[in-house]
């Protein structure tokens, strides 16, 4: 069936209108980004084409670029390279082309990008220049009333660097006359797809819109098929199309084109597409099959060259014209593209293995040729792809190596790593590999390890380095020279402490072999200093670090100098200003060295230095700078930037900013530790799923000690708020035991865990006292109380011992540690008071509140949540001491803070306290239509729970005699002869909430 050539846009007017309004905003200087998602064939391209045509009629310039599927590897920045080329060629007009050409000429990073293979000389600072250059070029191409509409299609195939540019463009949009429209297949973007977190991150930006295209419903499909066929289908024909297409526009088109005979139609789309292709002339079929080997889109010049490789005498002009006439291929600038990617996929999958290899070989030969512009028809990544698929392993090896070097020059570590790993995988299959590359497998493995570290895969980096060293069993000199590289990678692992002694021993052995005054020796000294420091061998650490710094200065080895100075700064952390100066010098040395990983360590340590020195605002600025720098260098998820993100989350929590913030585009290796850091605020907010989140982290404790500390400690707090006191106490002891094994028995986080555990003990005792559950008899009650007191005293002793002997770096426990220690003491005093062996702990909680208030003076805004929580407990203790006015003031201040932060559990606890104690606080007092007073209702509710008059008095902060009076009044008002009858009557009359 021949389709109508003029098909109106069906059922997408709302989405088209949204896109055109976005174009209008861009025309007025309000840039935007629109994410258009939908299943393959649902109509994304048709919608975008319609919008592009309408936008051009309104004065906009449209630039359409594509991402391509090259398997596990990609060509960094390919769509933006294409976009800049189109703009230079005049896609947005001659004036815009001149402006863009000028910008490209001024920026080496841009002209290297546009010149195949030219990125090899790029330095790390050029990543920012590259991103800014791309953004500036796109912005300069548009003008008021003449915006640029950049369409980036098939972003589900985008490489990591292209995704980074999209995030950069979205984040930096200001007043450009630019609209970026991104299309992707939702059915390809599963939960592990690297695009998925990017979409989530972009969707949160104010100027980003998201459009999801759904398949047609029956009425829409009927309108669509009527337009396609030029008239209504018969009932049987439409039912067949509806059933088989399921509303997918492309499927419907193909079913109609395949013919009307029901018996001749295949049942799968693959067969429908095959049927359609088989209607073409055999020569045309061969040409389009060859085109499919390049993917959905191929440069016409490249396709012609590949065809000539197969048969120099055969012309393809007529075949291409017929393919375009039959709408199998479409012309798009200098490219030919399949009307839908699925058509290319079906053709490619139909090729026989030998036929497929032969066609890839044709492309490989064609890509080595030069085009009309004098440049090669393709870059090394494309050649590597076709060489591998053609089973030309020597060529695949060489081109993969070239592609890795190109990716390194373009600051694309993920792509560099994949190409290096491809080289390593091919090495054994290519006997002459070393002579072909001019290097050996060890050097390639080392380069791959460096790329893995930069890409945020420390464990992978270690495996690659070990692989390299293991191959040097008969070369002790080279093994010694590489040992510091391996150790440096191992230091980035979460569990590196377990191997500290082994690493130190290996470095000492290497120093016995390495020559004096060598860069490898200086690096080994610097890393041995760092390890000795972490093993609390400070004298050895200082000696090694000073030796390394002296040697590094003499040799001009700036990277090792940065590492040694960073270690000295940590050793001098007690002198915060001196440490800060050392770290500034270390950062400068790392930048001079171009050692981006050392620079990240220094930037993290600078921020941590300011934080622990109490300069919170300065620390926040340092973290923001460090993370921005990591983004520039493509190191956003390497070890130290991840640590900076954790520090950033903790600082926001310190300030009382409890707003939930999704962790964003996070590699799997970093997801859990960042989830653990966000638990602080989640517990304080009282998120419903916070306990489930904490429990999900249990399986990851062995991945990173910080996951156990942050996730486990916060889960203890959450369980306590939930009233699951025994579980909280057991978990606190479990976390402590785990971290003693991972770190040491005096890790400073143990003070925090001890305070949380004692709080759970005190809350459990309070709950038992209020409900009468302390035991069936006096002996059991006393035994339970004694056990709790013993555990509380033991935990407090542990906290104090840790504070004394844990010796934080610098020798002095900081204000936060002191505050947690004081809270542990106050919680234990509360425990003693609850079980009847101590007086009201008002003094202890006043000291705890003062200790937390001290952090306010030191940390700008201080530990806002803990200040409020300590005032809650202080108000409770004041009530126990009979100081109602002081209690009211402390509770009111704590409640105001809790409400302002959104700390729901704390606010609810404060209101419950105020209600029990009859404190007049906002949202606490309530009127009653009952014959009972508010206090009588409260007393009767506790009577219904089985509490004695003494227990009720303790609960409501009134005397036992006053409780007795209230109980008598209740029975008189209800006409009851006893307590049980009063409860029953109140319940029947609806006066009692039970």
Q: What local confidence, expressed as pLDDT, does residue 361 receive?
A: 95
Which are the contacts of 319, defined by CB distance < 8 A and separation ≥ 6? 281, 283, 284, 286, 287
| Ranges under pLDDT 70 in the chain | 1-7, 71-74, 115-126, 244, 258-269, 271-273, 275-276, 340-342, 497, 662-665, 770-781, 807-812, 837-838, 856-862, 924-931, 984-985, 987-994
Instruction: Map residue 309 onto helix, strand or coil.
Output: helix
Pair of tokens at residue 687:
């998120």
d(CA 952, CA 945): 10
Residue 586 phi/psi, 5-degree rounding, is -65, -45
Q: What local confidence, expressed as pLDDT, does residue 263 receive?
A: 40
Q: Are the C-beta atoms of residues 836 and 954 closer than 8 Å to each other?
A: no
Instruction: Map residue 36 onto helix, strand or coil.
Output: strand
Pair of tokens at residue 522:
């200086």
> What is the phi-psi region of residue 668: left when phi exceeds 0, alpha when psi lies from -120 to 50, beta otherwise?
alpha
Element (H, E) at 559: helix 558-571
Nearest to 306 by CA among 290, 329, 321: 290
Pair of tokens at residue 252:
């419907």
Residue in this structure with the two tokens 């100075």, named with its chain if needed: 565
Element (H, E) at 314: none
Residue in this structure with the two tokens 């870059």, named with its chain if needed: 379
* 3-state helix, strand and coil shares in percent for the chain, rounded to the nearest 5: 70, 5, 25
What letters, b where the CB count within 10 A reaches 16 and e where it falls short, cover 960-978? eeebeebbeebbebbebee
User: Which pLDDT tens digit goes with each residue over 303-328?
Assistant: 999 999 988 877 888 999 988 887 78
Q: What local confidence, expressed as pLDDT, does residue 400 receive?
A: 95
Residue in this structure with the two tokens 């803990």, named with its chain if needed: 866
CA angle 442, 444, 450 (to 5 degrees): 105
d(CA 383, CA 364): 6
Any idea what DSSP says for residue 248?
-
Nearest to 896 by CA among 880, 917, 875: 875
Q: What local confidence, expressed as pLDDT, does residue 94 receive?
A: 87
Q: Are the C-beta atoms of residues 566 and 547 closer than 8 Å to each other?
A: no
Q: Are the C-beta atoms of residues 384 and 396 closer than 8 Å to each other?
A: yes
Residue 267 phi/psi, 5-degree rounding, is -95, -10
DSSP structure string for 719-778: HHHTT-HHHHHHHHHHHHHHHHHHS-TT-THHHHHHHHHHHHHHHHHHHHHHHT-S-SSH
Pair of tokens at residue 496:
């590196």
d(CA 862, CA 870): 13
Pair of tokens at residue 454:
């930069």
Find the helix packing angle between 249-257 and 218-229, rounded to 10°: 40
Instruction: Map residue 124 onto helix, strand or coil.
Output: coil
3-state secondary structure string across 80-119: HHHHHHHHHCCCCCHHHHHHHHHHHHHCHHHHHHHCCCHH
Nearest to 304 by CA among 371, 252, 256: 371
Q: Are the C-beta atoms of residues 117 and 110 closer than 8 Å to each other?
A: no
**Alpha-carbon dihedral 607, 822, 787, 882, rounded to 10 degrees:** -140
Query: pTM of the entire structure?
Result: 0.63
Pair of tokens at residue 292:
């499919």
Bridge partners of 149?
A: 62, 179
Residue in this structure with the two tokens 């790593």, named with its chain if needed: 417
Nearest to 714 by CA among 740, 738, 687: 687
Which are the contacts of 411, defined by CB distance < 8 A and separation ≥ 6? 122, 124, 126, 127, 130, 161, 633, 634
Which are the contacts of 688, defined by CB distance < 8 A and separation ≥ 6? none
Residue 379 phi/psi, 5-degree rounding, is -90, 180
Element (H, E) at 31: none
**Rg (the chain; Cα; Å):** 35
Q: What local confidence, expressed as pLDDT, does residue 811 receive?
A: 52
Instruction: Map residue 183 onto helix, strand or coil.
Output: strand
Which are the contacts of 839, defined by CB distance < 8 A and separation ≥ 6? 833, 881
User: Which pLDDT tens digit goes with each residue over 260-286?
Assistant: 554 433 445 676 567 668 878 899 999
User: Which pLDDT tens digit goes with each residue over 922-943?
Assistant: 776 554 445 688 888 888 888 8
Q: What local confidence, expressed as pLDDT, does residue 119 receive?
A: 45
Residue in this structure with the two tokens 């949380």, named with its chain if needed: 756
């Amino acid at each position: 069936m021949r389709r109508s050539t003029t098909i109106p846009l069906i059922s997408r007017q709302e989405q088209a209108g949204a896109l055109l309004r976005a174009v209008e905003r861009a025309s007025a200087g309000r840039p935007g980004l629109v994410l258009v998602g939908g299943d393959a064939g649902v109509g994304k391209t048709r919608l975008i084409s319609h919008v592009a045509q309408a936008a051009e009629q309104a004065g906009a310039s449209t630039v359409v670029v594509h991402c391509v599927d090259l398997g596990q590897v990609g060509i960094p920045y390919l769509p933006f390279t294409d976009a800049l080329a189109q703009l230079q060629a005049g896609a947005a007009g001659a004036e815009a082309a001149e402006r863009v050409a000028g910008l490209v000429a001024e920026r080496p990073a841009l002209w290297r990008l546009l010149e195949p293979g030219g990125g090899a000389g790029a330095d790390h600072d050029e990543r920012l220049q590259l991103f800014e250059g791309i953004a500036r070029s796109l912005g300069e191409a548009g003008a008021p009333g003449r915006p640029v509409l950049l369409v980036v299609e098939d972003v589900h195939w985008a490489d990591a660097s292209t995704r980074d540019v999209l995030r950069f463009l979205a984040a930096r949009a200001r007043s450009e006359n630019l609209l970026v429209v991104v299309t992707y297949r939702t059915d390809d973007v599963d939960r592990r797809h690297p695009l998925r977190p990017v979409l989530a991150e972009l969707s949160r930006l104010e100027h980003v819109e998201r459009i999801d295209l759904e398949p047609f419903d029956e009425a829409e499909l009927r309108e669509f098929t009527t337009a396609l066929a030029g008239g209504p289908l018969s009932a049987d024909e439409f039912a067949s199309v509806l059933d088989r297409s399921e509303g997918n526009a492309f499927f419907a088109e193909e079913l109609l084109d395949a013919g009307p005979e029901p018996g001749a139609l295949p049942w799968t789309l693959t067969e429908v597409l095959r049927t359609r292709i088989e209607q073409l002339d055999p020569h045309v079929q061969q040409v389009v099959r060859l085109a499919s080997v390049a993917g959905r889109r191929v440069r016409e010049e490249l396709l012609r060259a590949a065809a000539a490789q197969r048969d120099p005498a055969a012309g393809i002009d007529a075949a291409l014209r017929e393919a375009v006439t039959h709408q199998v291929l479409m012309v798009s600038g200098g490219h030919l593209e399949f009307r839908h990617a699925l058509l290319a996929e079906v053709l490619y999958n139909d090729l026989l293995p030998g036929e497929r290899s032969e066609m890839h070989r044709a492309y490989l030969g064609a890509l080595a040729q030069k085009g009309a512009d004098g440049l090669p028809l393709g870059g090394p990544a494309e050649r590597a792809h076709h060489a591998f698929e053609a089973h030309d392993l020597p060529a695949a090896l060489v081109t993969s190596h070239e592609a890795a070097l190109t990716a390194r020059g373009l600051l694309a570590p993920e792509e560099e790593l994949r190409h290096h790993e491809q080289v390593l995988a091919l090495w054994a299959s290519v006997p002459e590999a070393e002579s072909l590359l001019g290097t050996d497998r060890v050097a390639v493995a080392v380069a791959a390890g460096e790329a893995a570290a930069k890409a945020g895969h420390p464990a992978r980096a270690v495996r690659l380095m070990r692989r390299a060293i293991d191959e040097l069993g008969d070369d002790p000199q080279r093994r010694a020279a590489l040992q510091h590289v391996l150790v440096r990678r191992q230091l980035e692992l979460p569990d590196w402490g377990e191997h500290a002694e082994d690493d130190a021993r290996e470095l000492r052995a290497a120093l016995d072999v390495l020559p004096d005054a060598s860069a490898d020796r200086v690096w080994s000294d610097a890393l041995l200093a760092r390890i000795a420091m972490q093993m609390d061998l400070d004298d050895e650490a200082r000696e090694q670090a000073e030796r390394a710094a002296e040697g590094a200065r003499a040799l001009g080895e700036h990277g090792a100098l940065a590492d040694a100075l960073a270690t000295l700064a940590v050793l001098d952390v007690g002198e915060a200003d001196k440490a800060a100066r050392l770290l500034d010098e270390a950062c400068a040395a790392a930048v001079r060295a171009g050692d981006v990983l050392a620079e990240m360590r220094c930037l993290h340590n600078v921020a941590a230095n300011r934080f622990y020195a109490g300069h919170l605002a300065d620390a926040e600025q340092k973290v923001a700078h460090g993370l921005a720098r990591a983004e520039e260098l493509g190191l956003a998820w390497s070890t130290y930037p991840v640590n900076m993100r954790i520090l950033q989350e903790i600082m926001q929590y310190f300030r009382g900013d409890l707003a939930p913030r999704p962790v964003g585009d996070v590699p799997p290796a970093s997801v859990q530790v960042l989830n653990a850091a966000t638990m602080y605020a989640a517990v304080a907010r009282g998120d419903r799923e916070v306990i489930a989140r904490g429990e999900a982290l249990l399986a990851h404790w062995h991945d990173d000690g910080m996951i156990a500390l942050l996730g486990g400690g916060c889960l203890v707090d959450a369980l306590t708020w939930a009233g699951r006191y025994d579980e909280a106490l057991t978990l606190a002891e479990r976390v402590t035991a785990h971290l003693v094994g991972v770190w040491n028995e005096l890790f400073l986080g143990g003070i925090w865990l001890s305070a949380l555990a004692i709080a759970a003990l005190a809350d459990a005792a309070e709950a038992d006292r209020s409900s009468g559950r302390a035991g069936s008899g006096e002996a059991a009650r006393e035994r339970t109380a004694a056990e709790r007191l013993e555990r509380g005293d033991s935990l407090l002793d542990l906290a104090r011992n840790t504070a004394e002997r844990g010796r934080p770096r610098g020798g002095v426990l900081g204000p936060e540690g002191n505050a947690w220690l004081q809270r542990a003491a106050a919680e234990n005093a509360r425990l003693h008071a609850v079980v009847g062996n101590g007086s009201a702990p008002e003094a202890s909680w006043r000291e705890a509140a003062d200790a937390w208030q001290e952090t306010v003076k030191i940390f700008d805004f201080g530990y806002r949540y803990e200040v409020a929580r300590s005032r809650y407990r202080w108000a409770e203790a004041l009530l126990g001491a009979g100081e109602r006015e002081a209690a009211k003031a402390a509770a009111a201040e704590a409640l105001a803070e809790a409400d302002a932060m959104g700390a729901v559990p704390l606010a609810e606890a404060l209101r419950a306290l105020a209600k029990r104690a009859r404190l007049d606080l906002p949202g606490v007092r309530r009127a009653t239509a009952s014959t009972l007073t508010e206090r009588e209702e409260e007393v009767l509710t506790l009577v219904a729970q089985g509490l004695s008059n003494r227990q009720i008095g303790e609960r409501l902060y009134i005397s036992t005699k006053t409780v007795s009076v209230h109980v008598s009044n209740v029975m008189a008002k209800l006409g009851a002869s006893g307590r049980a009858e009063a409860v029953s009557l109140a319940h029947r009359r609806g006066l009692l909430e039970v």
